[in-house]
Chain A
Amino acid sequence: MSFTRRTLLTKALATGGLLAAPGLVRAESRRVRIGYISALSGPRAEFGTADPWMLTQVRGLLAAGLTVGGVTHEVEILSRDNESNPNRSSEVGADLILRENVDLLLVQDLDASIVTGEMSDMAGIPAISTMGPWQAWVYGRGATPEAGFPWSFTFFWGVDAALGTFVRMWDQVATNRQVGDFYFDNAAGRAFSDPALGLPALMAGAGYRRTPGGLYQIDTTDFAAQVSQFQQAGADIVTGFGFATHWASFWAQAGQAGYHPKVASFAAAFLFPSAIEALGARGEGMTTEVWWSPQMPWRSSLTGQSAAELARAYEADTGRQWLQTLGYSHALFETGIAALKASGAPKDRAAVRAAIAGMTLDTVVGRVDWAGSPIPNVAQTAVAGGQWRRAKRFAYDLHITETHFAPGLTPDGETLALPVP
């Protein structure tokens, strides 16, 4: 797999070299080309739902070009859909880096950022990615946090912080401190369930006892085993990691078995309002990690909009409820455009790279700080804890209940125990 990809990459590099002949480069010398990769279709398409709107907004901002050092550059954004597919990610990555010869690559998808990170490092193209816990991005590329990368950068929160919010939310509810946990078996699920670094270690440290429900496979539709295990152990808290469909099956079976825990925090499954709505009335009280919400006290460096204003503008234009991904998609362009400006020479890749490495930027998702980060190429961002509650305008609203890893954010109140049926 990795061999094939590398072979493909080498071939593609050769082709790209031909296309990037000096004459062609000179003709395009003033235009800055930004490549953008996200999942617009396929199973992860929900992560890209806000992208068309976000791209329209950003293209509007850049319509008059980007003026750096008295020179105005036309800016072209080349948006590519990776179809939620790693192979397609490497295709569109090669296309943007080698054929389109972009000056900067922005990647809004974890799988894609792992594949294209390697490509941009080989081709010498500055790249910024987000939407994946930084540990997954570093370890997923077979590297270590100390090593760093030549051209690729990422900003996102870490698994440790997200899980830390889980435990802190549980502390707000009176429970018997017995936790049942189960995880979808992929790289992230194994990281979440890691006995030394994942949830089990955090739970033990905070005085929670654990009833392990194990790892499960993607096509599982029956969680009766976990339900009966947790029920027998009398676990007041259920946690883990997986998709919304997995949780929906588990939660229905828990209801049928008469198992009613007091807290449910299932990482990744409750990111989007659709997942909560799929649970019907029983979506009330689900707790989740919160990357971004309209309550975040920060403003966009591009538009000056507050988080709330950005979310409201999205809702007004699309008629749909705000999404956590909107903040990060927007912030990705904040960092990219800030780097192009700060470089002093947007067509100079080394200068752009240096601008990213030296960046400290206040964005709509909070401060993105590569300059002062202890981990090379990684800027850690805020993550909060939140709870979905019944609302009027949309079916459910996300309330902020835990802010230890999001300094500056004020919680709406404490986490409440799940309603007793």
Chain B
Amino acid sequence: MGEVLHIKGLTAGALTGLNLTLTAGECLALTGPRGVGKSTLLRGIAGLAPTKAEAMRFQARDLLTLDAAARARAGIALCAEGGIFATLTVAENLALGARLARPGPWTPKRVWALFPDLRTLGHRPAARISGGQAQMLTLGRALLANPALLLVDEVTTGLSPLVAGQIHQVLDVLASEGMALIVAGALPNGRHRSLNLEAA
């Protein structure tokens, strides 16, 4: 499998000199205590947080020259807690994800099949859905872009074990289909590589 992400000597927030390489189909769990820089790293890769690095490549492209919008267009998606647009409806939030729609397996139908609530609640303002539904929405919306690299920031925080388990299953499926993932927070099964940022 080819290299998706390569980072050398990255400095962002509290993180210094971080090296990281990720291949397609790989799911990396970032661990470490709160405030160690998990979210900052994800936001830095997405282009939303200022970073410095010796090298930062995504599918052989130099990320350091791309702004956040260009990185999204290139195939990097970030889903973070609270990332929904509350004044837009559920369907409109999904449509934002679909505006990048790169070729790939994720269609609205497949997202709806995975998260049926997103279909039935389509016309509801996103301000009026539950926390679990909101996490599904951010994940579903990110998938509609068919990213090559999915950055997942704490989307299971505060969810019931049932829903959290469902979401973790989805992440496994994504990796098995060849998507590269970086997930902030420990993953339940031990199949995935993890990186403790405190030690890094």
Direct contact of A and B (CB under 8 A): no
